[in-house]
Chain A
Amino acid sequence: MTAAEIKSLISGKFAGIIREDGEDPNPFIVIDSGRWATLARWMKAEKKLLLDSLHCVTGYDPGAEQALEVRYNLFSMTHRHWLEIRIAVDREEPQVPSVEKIWRTADWQEREIYDMYGIRFIGHRDLRRILLEDDWEGWPLRKDYVTPRTYRGMTVPKDKR
Chain B
Amino acid sequence: MKEANIPAPATTGGDNIFIGTLDKLISWARSTSPWYFQFGLACCAIEMMATAASRHDLERIGMMPRSSPRQADVMIVSGTVTLKMATRIERLYDQMAEPKYVISMGSCATSGGPYWQHGYHVLKGVDQIVPVDVYIPGCPPRPESLLEGLLKLQEKIRNEKPLSGKK
Residues of A within 8 A of B (CB): 131-133, 140, 145, 147-148, 151-152, 154-158
Interface size on B, residues (CB 8 A): 14
Q: B86 CB to closest chain A CB, in angstroms?
A: 6
Partner of B123, one of A131, A133, A145, A154: A154
Within 8 Å CB of A158, what residues of B? 111-112, 116-117, 124
A131 CA / B124 CA spacing, docked (Å): 19
**B117 contacts A151, C-beta separation under 8 Å:** no
**B120 contacts A156, C-beta separation under 8 Å:** yes
Residue of B nearest to A151 (CB): B83
Q: A158-B111, A158-B112, A158-B116 are in contact. Are A152 and B121 (CB under 8 A)?
A: no
Residue of B nearest to A160 (CB): B124
- Smallest CB-CB A-B distances: 4 pairs: A147-B120, A158-B124, A158-B116, A151-B83
Within 8 Å CB of A145, what residues of B? 120
Instruction: Check if B87 is an interface residue, CB within 8 A of chain A.
Output: yes
**A154 contacts B83, C-beta separation under 8 Å:** yes
A132 CA / B83 CA spacing, docked (Å): 9
Q: B58 CB to closest chain A CB, in angstroms?
A: 31
29 A-B residue pairs with CB within 8 Å? A131-B84, A132-B84, A132-B121, A133-B83, A133-B84, A133-B87, A140-B120, A140-B121, A145-B120, A147-B120, A148-B120, A151-B83, A152-B83, A152-B87, A154-B83, A154-B86, A154-B123, A154-B128, A154-B129, A155-B124, A156-B83, A156-B120, A156-B123, A156-B124, A158-B111, A158-B112, A158-B116, A158-B117, A158-B124
Within 8 Å CB of B116, what residues of A? 158
Within 8 Å CB of B87, what residues of A? 133, 152
Residue of A nearest to B120 (CB): A147
A147 CA / B112 CA spacing, docked (Å): 15
A151 CA / B121 CA spacing, docked (Å): 9
